[in-house]
Amino acid sequence: MTSYGPETTTDEVLLDHDLTGRHFMITGASSGLGEESARALAQAGATVTMLARNQSKLDKAIERIKSTNPSAVLKTGIADLSDQQSIRDYAQGFLATGETIDVLINNAGVMVCPFGKTADGIEMQFGTNHVGHFLLTNLLMPAILAGANPRIVNLSSAGHTHSDVNLDDPNFEKSEYNAWESYGRSKSANIHFTQEIVRRYGDRIQSFAVHPGVIMTELGRHLTPELMNEMTEKKIRHPHSGTFSANPISMTAGYTAMKMFDKQAVLDLNKLTKIAIKQIEESISLSGIPACVTGDGSMFRVHFNNNKPTTYREAYQEKEIKTIINELLDYLFLKENIIMINTCACMFSTTLNQQHVDRLSEALLNGFRIIKPKLENIS
């Protein structure tokens, strides 16, 4: 396979790759992305050391993996990324074995948790997501440097846009704790750490910072509707927001750039968007809510009134409507795994197809039916 898309599986990525003899080490491997990575790598023949802080959870993860691949070569280790002594104990024991590491995947982490501190008195998210991995990686560096074509993969996130690293107030002693800002600090630190590994060891180690995308795992266990609203409204920089602008210079530049794309691909994309708008209008009709859809090209927006706006300002929603929209967005994200920005707008890409349109229109129909009683109360 030479190209990947949103529906590409881990097995498809590793298709035709024989990893026999390669040793991967993964933190946070007892669930979520860590467990899935271990499963897929073992399926491709790799030896995988799975690290976590709970042996019971590791044993259950191994049982799940071996239920489909009895020959998987899996090892385990206990290392709590929020406890530096635990990290030192594990690293010391591992180095004593003389084993080497070909690929270290720093996957473990916490996200938007309530304020707390690690065993060493460091703010929990920064201490776990960055400091813990920083210490583990450096302690294991002799084994990594001895590996075959070694690599270090740090799982960062688009959430790094919430904040850069703040070493002047790492524990929020001078400011009020903000869960998203804390998460952003830790993810920015992951990126800076990756860059420094390249600077110091670039001739011997390949290092990568990875944004895995939005995937519903245990990492999101601390997410609340309030935190979701904060992320949607204030923090995340949506790459498509402002693509349609009232500024004629911006629109001309965008139009010129679009002309550089393959013409047929653009025409197909616009056609798919028209189909999507029609199906969403059908979902609106079936749900019986007061709403309409506008759009052009590959972009569309849902408006919660019966009349399509004719000016930019008419598209603004009242505060009561915005609250209901946020409930709809929460439902789409948490239950349907679909992200829409807080204006209920979407932009299609060339990776989407009719199956995605069908799924979107069905998810919106379910969401519309949920919010219908509240819309009726304010109409």
pLDDT at 204: 95
19-33, 144-158, 317-331: which has the minimum mean pLDDT?
A: 317-331
Residue 261: predicted pLDDT: 62
Q: State how far the alpha carbon of 119 is from the alpha carbons of 86, 139, 172, in Å.
A: 10, 19, 17
What pLDDT, on the 0 to 100 scale, is given for residue 242?
Answer: 39
Q: Are 24 and 41 in contact (CB under 8 A)?
A: yes
Is 261 or 169 the better-scoring residue by pLDDT?
A: 169
Region 93-102: mean pLDDT is: 98
Integer Cα distance of 144 and 149 in angstroms: 9
Q: Tell me the C-alpha distance between 1 and 8, whole Å.
A: 10
pLDDT at 8: 79
When pLDDT is averaged across residues 112-124 and rounded to a whole number, the result is 94
Cα–Cα distance for residue pair 187/185, rounded to 1 Å: 6
Domains of the chain: 10-221 (3.40.50.720), 248-378 (3.90.1150.10)
CA 140 and chain centroid, separation: 27
Examine the pLDDT at 218 and tell me if it is beyond 80.
no
Alpha-carbon gap, residue 292 to 219, rounded angstroms: 36
Q: What pLDDT shows up at residue 376?
A: 87
What's the rounded Cα separation, in Å, for the pair 323 and 229? Answer: 9
When mean pLDDT is compared across 107-116, 168-177, 295-304, the lowest value belongs to 295-304
What pLDDT is attached to residue 52? Answer: 96
Residues with active-site annotation:
183
How far, rounded to the nearest angstrom, does the alpha carbon of residue 53 sit from its chain's CA centroid? Answer: 23
Is the pLDDT confidence value at 269 over 80?
A: yes
User: Which residue would you say has higher pLDDT here, 363 or 9?
Assistant: 363
What pLDDT was estimated at residue 212?
82
- Stretch 181-208: mean pLDDT, rounded? 93
Instruction: For residue range 293-343, list pLDDT tens digits in order.
Output: 988 788 888 999 888 887 656 666 777 888 898 899 899 988 888 888 877
Separation between Cα atoms, residue 324 and residue 161, nearest integer Å: 27
Q: What is the mean pLDDT of the chain?
A: 86
Q: Which of 302, 279, 300, 275 is nearest to 291 (CA)?
A: 302
pLDDT confidence tier of residue 18, bands split at 50, 70 and 90: very high
CB-based burial of residue 244 (10 Å sphere; 0-12 exposed, 13-18 middle, 19+ buried)?
middle
Q: Which pLDDT score, from 0 to 100, does residue 72 have?
A: 97
* Residue 48 to residue 66: CA distance in whole angstroms: 13
Taking the complete model, does pTM exceed 0.75, yes or no? no
**152: number of Cβ within 10 Å:** 24
* 263 CB-contact burial (10 Å; exposed 0-12 / middle 13-18 / buried 19+): exposed
Backbone Cα Rg of the chain: 24
pLDDT at 1 over 50: no
Nearest CA-CA partner of 160 in 202, 136, 195: 195
Question: Is pLDDT above 90 for 225?
Answer: no
DSSP secondary structure of 233-274: III---TTTTSS-S-HHHHHHHHHHHTTS-HHHHHHHHHHHH
Which range, of 85-94, 244-253, 256-265, averages the lowest pLDDT? 244-253
pLDDT of residue 320: 84
Non-local (6+) Cβ contacts of 144 within 8 A are: 100, 101, 104, 137, 150, 152, 205
Three-class SS of residue 204?
Answer: coil
Pairing of strands 299-303, 345-347: antiparallel
Q: Where are the beta strands (DSSP E) in the chain?
A: 23-26, 47-52, 73-78, 103-106, 151-155, 206-210, 292-296, 299-303, 345-347
pLDDT of residue 240: 37
Q: Kindly state the average pLDDT of the residues 140-159.
A: 94
Mean pLDDT of 137-146: 98
Close Cβ partners of 122 (under 8 Å, ≥ 6 residues apart): 131, 170, 171
Looking at the chain, how many residues does it have? Answer: 379
Residue 85 vs residues 98, 136, 348: alpha-carbon distances, Å:
21, 11, 48
Summarize pLDDT for 55-87 with one digit per residue, the tens: 999 999 999 999 999 999 999 999 999 999 999
